[in-house]
């Protein structure tokens, strides 16, 4: 594997990783800003906690030699537990018996939160003594040198989105080739969302084009489609949040698109605002479910692989009382009333009561759709 070929998109290693560490160490305010995002400014001793935690992180940076170290010591070893303690009632995971530490996997996950999905996946892996993974992030999140250092020293792979059509296709081939070679030749796991961007409507359907691109990137090696899929050891991953802090923002964005012929131009700091909300605000309970690697049978094409990923994500998705209630409320049924008997239904609905009716229904449907997806799988 020629690492130089991917120098501009791969996570930082070697001297590049050390350069990032030196930069972050010499600019403690950057780390303070990151800590400030995670902590709630309304909590007691906010400023003293920011200063204390920043000092501790800067101290830990002295031991960071590569992105694995950064993930273990700082992200999933320090920051994620803080987020869980402050904004998650209970974090659970299942299916970890399906993966072993001596194999690399391509984790195909549904996508709800800008950075937490893959960070919580990594946290679950660490809790089970499994190897951590590299993670694909859009370059829209790397608008500054500091942001790029933070993402790439954390195992971030750069997905270049703002390219002309022809260049975007060539870049997709190169990115896909990087995924394949990293898993096969470096035995290093990678996380990727099942489709472009977060699922705003709660419908978690895989883009088969992503799987097709993986194969196209490796055609010159003359590997067969089924052999490549076996080598990549694709693991479908379902991540479910009881409450989505960004549900209203997502719904407003999508309704705006509908009313404006699919057009929506993000405001300058919109991604950052959503990122902060996702990290800081209340999420209730959260679950990560690892599916079974797609190595059990021969897959003939990309559509067949996508169908299996969908099946596992839909059936392994942990449905919460909010999901069941939204489904019954919208379908005007009491089919799942035992699943949400302890939910404060009035309080849940009040969150959306002042919204435009289209936005309100979109938000509620985003909670109901995982139930619909599950039922569509088991009732076939």
Domain definitions of the chain by residue range: 3-318
What pLDDT does residue 175 have? 97
Environment class of 41 (CB within 10 Å of its CB; exposed 0-12, middle 13-18, buried 19+): exposed
pLDDT at 263 over 80: no
Query: In the sheet that 284-290 helps form, which strands lie side by side, from edge to edge?
Result: 88-94, 284-290, 234-241, 106-109, 189-193, 133-138, 156-159
Q: Under 8 Å CB-to-CB from 103, ≥6 apart: which residues?
A: 187, 233
d(CA 322, CA 345): 9
10 vs 264, more confident: 10
d(CA 138, CA 305): 24
Task: Kindly report the length of the chain.
Answer: 380
Name which CATH class applies to 3-318. Answer: alpha beta
Q: Which pair of tokens denotes residue 159?
A: 């997905």
Pairing of strands 284-290, 234-241: antiparallel
d(CA 12, CA 214): 23
Mean pLDDT of the 257-275 span: 74
pTM of the model: 0.94
At residue 265 the predicted structure's pLDDT band, cuts being 50, 70 and 90, is: low
d(CA 113, CA 255): 19
SS3 letters for 194-211? CCCCCCCCCCCCCCHHHH
What pLDDT does residue 262 have? 67
Mean pLDDT of the 213-236 span: 95
d(CA 325, CA 364): 9
pLDDT at 40 over 80: no
């Amino acid at each position: 594997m020629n690492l130089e070929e991917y120098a501009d998109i791969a996570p930082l290693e070697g001297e590049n990783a050390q350069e990032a560490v030196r930069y972050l160490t010499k600019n403690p305010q950057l780390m303070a800003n990151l800590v400030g995002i995670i902590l709630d400014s309304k909590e007691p001793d906010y400023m003293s906690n920011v200063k204390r935690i920043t000092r501790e992180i800067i101290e830990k940076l002295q031991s960071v030699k590569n992105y694995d170290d950064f993930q273990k010591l700082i992200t999933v070893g320090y920051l994620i537990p803080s987020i869980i303690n402050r904004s998650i009632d209970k974090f659970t995971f299942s299916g970890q018996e399906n993966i072993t530490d001596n194999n690399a996997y391509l984790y195909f996950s549904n996508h709800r939160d800008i950075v937490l999905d893959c960070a919580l996946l990594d946290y679950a892996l660490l809790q089970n003594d499994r190897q951590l993974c590299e993670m694909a992030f859009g370059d829209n999140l790397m608008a500054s040198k500091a942001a790029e250092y933070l993402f790439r020293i954390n195992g971030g792979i750069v997905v270049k989105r703002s390219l002309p059509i022809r260049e975007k296709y060539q870049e997709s081939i190169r990115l896909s080739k990087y995924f394949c070679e990293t898993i096969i030749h470096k035995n290093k796991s990678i996380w990727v969302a099942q489709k472009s961007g977060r699922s705003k409507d709660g419908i978690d359907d895989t883009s088969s084009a992503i799987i097709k691109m993986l194969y196209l990137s490796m055609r010159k090696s003359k590997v067969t489609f089924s052999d490549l899929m076996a080598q990549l050891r694709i693991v479908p991953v379902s991540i479910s949040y009881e409450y989505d802090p960004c549900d209203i923002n997502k719904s407003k964005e999508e309704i705006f698109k509908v009313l404006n012929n699919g057009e929506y131009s993000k405001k300058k700091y919109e991604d950052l605002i959503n990122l902060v909300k996702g990290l800081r605000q209340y999420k209730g309970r959260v679950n990560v479910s690892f599916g079974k690697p797609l190595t059990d049978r021969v897959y003939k094409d990309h559509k067949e692989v996508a169908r299996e990923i969908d099946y596992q994500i839909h059936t392994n998705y942990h449905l919460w009382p909010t999901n069941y209630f939204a489904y019954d409320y919208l379908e005007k049924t009491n089919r799942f009333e035992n699943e949400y008997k302890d939910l404060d239904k009035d309080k849940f609905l009040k969150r959306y009561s002042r919204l435009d009716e289209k936005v309100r229904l979109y938000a509620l449907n985003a909670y109901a759709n995982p139930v619909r997806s599950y039922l569509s799988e088991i009732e076939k």
